[in-house]
Amino acid sequence: MTRCPVCNLRWAGAPPERCGCGYEPASRDPRLAVVLATEELSAANRRWRRGLLALLMVPVTFAFLVVSVEAAAGVVTAIQMVLGLIAAGFGIAQGHVARNRLRAAQQLMQLPPARVL
């Protein structure tokens, strides 16, 4: 069993033409993997920022609902807080995985160190 050097996925038997992360084992070309990991990292950053924004807006939402005499102010605020925490948590976790893939793919693109004769 061999593994993908970018995403560490196990391949049973012969490696595929292209891994799900974008790495091409036959040509050892990690360029598509770098592009996909960069896009995934960007999406993860957007997700955790949206979650943080939702958490920061909890006091504003609560104040608006209390002023408008809404009976479900606490429930709506709690739901917003939970959804913000979930979005921020998933964004941070997704960013960690994407950052590791991007780092591995960029290392494959670098030339090996020169030998001194």
106-115 pLDDT tens trace: 998 887 787 8
CA distance 61 to 46: 21
CA distance 89 to 82: 10
Helix ranges restricted to H, the chain: 31-56, 58-67, 73-109
Which contiguous run of DSSP H or E holds residue 3? strand 2-3
* Per-residue pLDDT at 92: 96
Give yes or no for a contact between 23 and 33, defined as CB atoms under 8 angstroms apart. Answer: yes
* Per-residue pLDDT at 50: 96
Largest pairwise CA distance in the chain: 81
pLDDT at 71 over 80: no
Encoding tokens for residue 53?
């924004």
Q: What pLDDT digit, counting tens, does each position of 12-58 carry?
A: 888 888 888 888 888 888 889 999 999 999 999 999 999 999 999 99
Give yes or no for a contact between 11 and 3, defined as CB atoms under 8 angstroms apart. Answer: yes
Instruction: Kindly report whether the global pTM for this prediction surpasses the value 0.75.
Output: yes
* Per-residue pLDDT at 2: 84
